[in-house]
Amino acid sequence: MGERADISRLPDPRLTVAGRYDRVVAAGVGRVWENVLDWEHLPALHHGQFHSIDLLDSGPWGWRASVVNQPGDVARAQVIEVRIDRDAGRYCSATVEGPGAGSEIWTTLTPLSADRTAVAVTFHVAEDRPERLARIGERYVAIYAGLWDEDEAMMVHRERALANRRRSSAASVEPLNLGPLSSLLTTLPRLVEFGGERFRLLALEGELIAHAATCPHWLGPLDDATVEDGCIRCPWHDYRFDIRTGASADGRGLVLARAPRVSVETGDVILSAAPAFP
């Protein structure tokens, strides 16, 4: 196992800065730290950059994981270690084994307001030939722009979903008439709100099904999740759920919010509260 990155020191002075990336994200610094420590989202949210991840160790200090970037690249797995220093507002993402071993990416987080954080990233690599450095720097900047776009969208959505959840606890669960079945079928799949929760209504093998459109893990969006073998996969951490029962389909134990009962009465589709014990 390679040497761990030591956050108490500065970047390794033997490395050269290949480039830097600065931006402001529309999320509070607490949400950003949550994202930094969330190793599990890499292959799901950033599937263009990461294929799979196996956690090796984690704690308040950060995490270390074996990461495969592309399918079939198992032999070229990297061990990445993220070490955080919240008091100093910075963290280091170091490649400690595999391709690029020895490189360090240092990020400084500066809170600007309750929902804005400045992000400053420098890429430190074991290379000092100017042309190569420039190419490596450009590539890092392009990759990081994409990663932060995806992270920002997730953090903004999560913040909004948490606020909605706080507001919707007293919502009505009166039956909801969605109109004639014949016209409803032409609008499927569609999102509906019931009892303060969002559900997606769709037809599966001739059956009308409603399932929660919010993931019970971190409130990820299930609005557009593809249905495969009666299951959906959350785009944030890849957790899978059976849409008929709401049960976890991958042994992680989480359950979708109970979906309303869908019935057809005198030609109209009605959503009503599901019985407590089906």
Interface residues toward Fe ion, by CB under 5 A: 151
Pick from Fe ion, ligand FES, none: which does 236 bind, CB < 5 to 8 A by kind? ligand FES
Is 102 buried (19+), middle (13-18) or exposed (0-12) by CB count in 10 A? middle
The sign of the torsion formed by the CA atoms of 133, 139, 142, 144 equals negative
Pick from Fe ion, ligand FES, none: which does 151 bind, CB < 5 to 8 A by kind? Fe ion
Q: Is the Cβ of residue 106 or residue 236 nearer to ligand FES in the bound state?
A: 236
Minimum distance, C-beta of residue 51 to ligand FES, in the bound complex (Å): 17
Q: Do 212 and 257 touch, CB atoms closer than 8 A?
A: yes
Pick from ligand FES, Fe ion, none: which does 105 bind, CB < 5 to 8 A by kind? none
Q: Is the Cβ of residue 208 or residue 215 nearer to ligand FES in the bound state?
A: 215
Query: Which residues of this protein are in contact with ligand FES, per CB under 6 A?
Result: 215, 217-218, 220, 234, 236-237, 239
Minimum distance, C-beta of residue 117 to ligand FES, in the bound complex (Å): 21
Q: Is the Cβ of residue 104 or residue 151 nearer to Fe ion in the bound state?
A: 151
Minimum distance, C-beta of residue 206 to ligand FES, in the bound complex (Å): 28
Any residues with CB less than 8 A from the CB of 267 and at least 6 apart, and which? 180, 181, 182
Minimum distance, C-beta of residue 275 to ligand FES, in the bound complex (Å): 26
Pick from ligand FES, Fe ion, none: which does 215 bind, CB < 5 to 8 A by kind? ligand FES
Q: Do 243 and 204 touch, CB atoms closer than 8 A?
A: yes
Residue 144: Cβ within 10 Å count: 21
Pick from Fe ion, ligand FES, none: which does 220 bind, CB < 5 to 8 A by kind? ligand FES
Q: Is the Cβ of residue 118 or residue 161 nearer to ligand FES in the bound state?
A: 161
Q: Is the Cβ of residue 150 or residue 242 nearer to Fe ion in the bound state?
A: 150
Minimum distance, C-beta of residue 150 to Fe ion, in the bound complex (Å): 6
Reading the block at residue 154, the tokens are 């997730």
Nearest of 8, 119, 122 to residue 61 by alpha carbon: 8
Q: Do 112 and 32 touch, CB atoms closer than 8 A?
A: no
* Alpha carbons 55 and 35: distance in angstroms, whole number: 16
* Alpha carbons 256 and 66: distance in angstroms, whole number: 30
Minimum distance, C-beta of residue 151 to Fe ion, in the bound complex (Å): 4
> 29-37 vs 130-167: helix axis angle to the nearest 10?
110
Reading the block at residue 40, the tokens are 């599990």
Partners of residue 123 on adjacent β-strands = 19, 105
Q: Is the Cβ of residue 212 or residue 262 nearer to ligand FES in the bound state?
A: 212
Pick from Fe ion, ligand FES, none: which does 234 bind, CB < 5 to 8 A by kind? ligand FES
Minimum distance, C-beta of residue 174 to ligand FES, in the bound complex (Å): 29
Q: Is the Cβ of residue 16 or residue 107 nearer to Fe ion in the bound state?
A: 107
Q: Is 265 helix (H, G, I), strand (E, B) or coil?
A: strand
Pick from Fe ion, ligand FES, none: which does 28 bind, CB < 5 to 8 A by kind? none
* Alpha carbons 170 and 216: distance in angstroms, whole number: 19
